[in-house]
Amino acid sequence: MNNTTLKKISEILGLSISTISRALKDHPDISAKTKQRVVELATTLDYEPNANAINLRTSNSKLFGLIVPSISNWFYNAFIASVEEDSRRNGYSLMILQSGDDPSIEINNLKLCRQNRITGLFVCISPETTNIEPFLKLKEMDIPVIFFDKVPDDARCNKVCVADALSATMAANELISKKKKKIAGLFGNPHLLITQKRLEAFRKTIHEKSGAAQLIIDYAPSTEDAESKTIELLKEKPDAIFCMSDEILIGVMKAIQRKGLSIPKDLGVITISNGAAPKLYFPEITYVETSGHKLGKMAYSSMMACLGGSTFIQDLTIESILVEGGSL
Amino acid sequence: MNNTTLKKISEILGLSISTISRALKDHPDISAKTKQRVVELATTLDYEPNANAINLRTSNSKLFGLIVPSISNWFYNAFIASVEEDSRRNGYSLMILQSGDDPSIEINNLKLCRQNRITGLFVCISPETTNIEPFLKLKEMDIPVIFFDKVPDDARCNKVCVADALSATMAANELISKKKKKIAGLFGNPHLLITQKRLEAFRKTIHEKSGAAQLIIDYAPSTEDAESKTIELLKEKPDAIFCMSDEILIGVMKAIQRKGLSIPKDLGVITISNGAAPKLYFPEITYVETSGHKLGKMAYSSMMACLGGSTFIQDLTIESILVEGGSL
DNA sequence: ATTTTTGCTGCAAACGTTTGCGAAATTGTT
DNA sequence: AACAATTTCGCAAACGTTTGCAGCAAAAAT
**Cβ within 8 Å, pair A141-B1:** yes
- C-alpha pair distances (Å), A68 with each of A95, A210, A214, B81: 11, 39, 37, 11
Give yes or no for a contact between A200 and A258, defined as CB atoms under 8 angstroms apart.
Answer: no
A285's CB contacts (< 8 A; 6+ apart) are A249, A253, A263, A269, A270, A271, A273, A277, A278, A279, A325, A327
Q: What fold is seen in the domain B60-162+293-319?
A: Rossmann fold (3.40.50)
Which one, of B193, B195, B196, B202, lies nearest residue B166 by Cα? B202
Which member of B55, B71, B282 has the closest CB to residue A257? B282
End-to-end CA separation in angstroms for chain B: 64
Which one, of A196, A205, A194, lies nearest residue A75 by Cα? A194
**Cβ within 8 Å, pair B52-A48:** no
Interface of A with B in 212-251 (CB under 8 A): 250
B67's CB contacts (< 8 A; 6+ apart) are B97, B98, B99, B106, B109, B110, B113, B121, B122, B123, B124
d(CA A90, CA A301): 12
Give the nucleotide with minimal C1' distance to the Cα of A56. D15
DSSP state of A260: T
Which member of B46, B52, B142 has the closest CB to residue A137? B46
What does the DSSP assignment read for B27-63? -TTS-HHHHHHHHHHHHHTT----HHHHHHHH----E
For residue A74, the model assigns a pLDDT of 86
**Cβ within 8 Å, pair A81-B95:** no
Residues of chain A with CATH 3.40.50.2300: 62-162+293-320, 164-289
Interface of B with A in 249-308 (CB under 8 A): 250, 253-255, 257-258, 280-282
Percent of chain B at pLDDT above 70? 99
Cα distance from B170 to chain A (closest Cα, Å)?
A: 26
Cα distance from B100 to chain A (closest Cα, Å)?
A: 10
Give yes or no for a contact between A244 and A186, defined as CB atoms under 8 angstroms apart.
Answer: yes
Phi, psi of A173 (to 5 degrees): -60, -40
Give the helix, strand, coil percentages of chain B, each rounded to 5: 45, 20, 35
For residue B30, the model assigns a pLDDT of 87
Q: Which residues of A touch B2 (CB under 8 A)?
A: 141
Sign of dihedral through CA atoms A18, A22, A23, A27?
Answer: negative
d(CA B190, CA B315): 24
A207 Cβ contacts chain C strand, under 7 Å? no
- Angle of the A133-140 helix axis to the A103-115 helix axis, nearest 10: 20
d(CA A175, CA A184): 11
- The answer to whether domain A62-162+293-320 has CATH 3.40.50.300 is no
Amino acid at B223: T
For residue A298, the model assigns a pLDDT of 96
Maximum separation of any 2 CA atoms in chain B, in Å = 88
Q: Which residues of A touch B79 (CB under 8 A)?
A: none
In this complex, the residue with its CA at the shortest distance from the C1' of nucleotide D18 is B57
A148's CB contacts (< 8 A; 6+ apart) are A79, A122, A123, A124, A159, A160, A161, A295, A299
d(CA B240, CA B267): 5
Q: Strand D within 7 Å of which CB atoms in A 143-172?
A: none
Mean predicted confidence (pLDDT) in A168-192: 93
B22 Cβ contacts chain C strand, under 7 Å? yes
Note whether A49 contacts B: Cβ–Cβ < 8 A.
yes
Mean pLDDT score of chain A, rounded to an integer?
92
* A10 pLDDT above the threshold of 70: yes
Q: Which residues of A touch B98 (CB under 8 A)?
A: 81, 84-85, 88
Half-sphere exposure of B129 (CA within 13 A, CB side): 27
Other CB atoms closer than 10 Å to residue B316's CB: what's the count?
15
Mean pLDDT score of chain B, rounded to an integer?
92
CA A265 to C1' C17 (Å) is: 69
pLDDT digit string, tens, across residues B115-146: 999 999 999 999 888 899 999 999 888 899 99
- Reduce the DSSP state of residue B101 to 3 states and report it: coil
Which member of B95, B108, B255 has the closest CB to residue A95? B95
For residue A211, the model assigns a pLDDT of 75
For residue B2, the model assigns a pLDDT of 62
Q: Which residues face A94 on adjacent strands?
A: A64
A293 burial level (CB within 10 Å; 0-12, 13-18, 19+): buried
Smallest CA–CA distance from A326 into chain B, residue: B258
Which one, of B106, B158, B170, lies nearest residue B315 by Cα? B158
Residues of chain B with CATH 3.40.50.2300: 60-162+293-319, 164-289
Phi, psi of B260 (to 5 degrees): 70, 20
Which member of A71, A85, A95 has the closest CB to residue B80? A71
Amino acid at A105: I
CA B28 to C1' D17 (Å) is: 19
DSSP state of A62: -
- Reduce the DSSP state of residue B199 to 3 states and report it: helix
Mean predicted confidence (pLDDT) in A43-62: 92
Note whether A107 contacts B: Cβ–Cβ < 8 A.
no
* A79 pLDDT above the threshold of 70: yes
Strand A321-323 versus strand A286-289 pairing type = antiparallel
d(CA B328, CA B319): 22
pLDDT digit string, tens, across residues A253-292: 999 999 999 999 999 999 999 988 999 999 999 999 999 9
pLDDT digit string, tens, across residues A100-154: 999 999 999 999 999 999 999 999 999 888 899 999 999 888 899 999 998 888 8
Smallest CA–CA distance from A74 into chain B, residue: B72
Mean predicted confidence (pLDDT) in A1-26: 88
Give the nucleotide with minimal C1' distance to the Cα of A31. D8
CA A307 to C1' C16 (Å) is: 27
- C-alpha pair distances (Å), A75 with each of A70, A150, B10: 10, 12, 47
A317 burial level (CB within 10 Å; 0-12, 13-18, 19+): middle
Mean predicted confidence (pLDDT) in A61-82: 92
A31 Cβ contacts chain D strand, under 7 Å? yes
Mean predicted confidence (pLDDT) in A38-59: 93
**Cβ within 8 Å, pair B50-A258:** no
CA B31 to C1' D30 (Å) is: 28
d(CA A172, CA A159): 26
For residue B1, the model assigns a pLDDT of 45
Amino acid at B264: P
Query: pLDDT tier at A2 (50, 70, 90 boundaries)?
Result: low
Cis, peptide link before residue B283, omega less than 30° from 0: yes
Q: Strand C within 7 Å of which CB atoms in B 50-109?
A: 53, 56-57, 59
CATH code reported for the domain at A164-289: 3.40.50.2300
For residue B252, the model assigns a pLDDT of 96
* A1 pLDDT above the threshold of 80: no
- Reduce the DSSP state of residue A290 to 3 states and report it: coil
**Cβ within 8 Å, pair A98-B84:** yes
d(CA A67, CA A55): 22
pLDDT digit string, tens, across residues B10-63: 999 999 999 999 999 888 888 888 889 899 999 999 999 999 999 999 988 899
CA B51 to C1' C5 (Å) is: 39
Q: Tens-of-pLDDT digits for all 328 residues of chain B?
A: 468 999 999 999 999 999 999 999 888 888 888 889 899 999 999 999 999 999 999 988 899 999 999 998 889 999 999 999 999 999 899 999 999 999 999 999 999 999 999 999 999 999 888 899 999 999 888 899 999 998 998 899 999 999 989 999 999 999 999 999 999 999 998 888 889 999 999 999 999 988 778 999 999 999 999 999 999 999 999 999 999 999 999 999 999 999 999 999 999 999 999 988 999 999 999 999 999 999 999 999 999 999 988 888 889 999 999 999 999 9
End-to-end CA separation in angstroms for chain A: 65
In three-state form (DSSP H/G/I as H, E/B as E, the rest C), the secondary structure along A188-254 is CCCCCHHHHHHHHHHHHHHHHHCCCCEEEEEECCCHHHHHHHHHHHHCCCCCEEEECCHHHHHHHHH
**Cβ within 8 Å, pair B51-A116:** yes
Which one, of A42, A8, A4, A5, lies nearest residue A23 by Cα? A42
Percent of chain A at pLDDT above 90? 78
d(CA B104, CA A253): 42
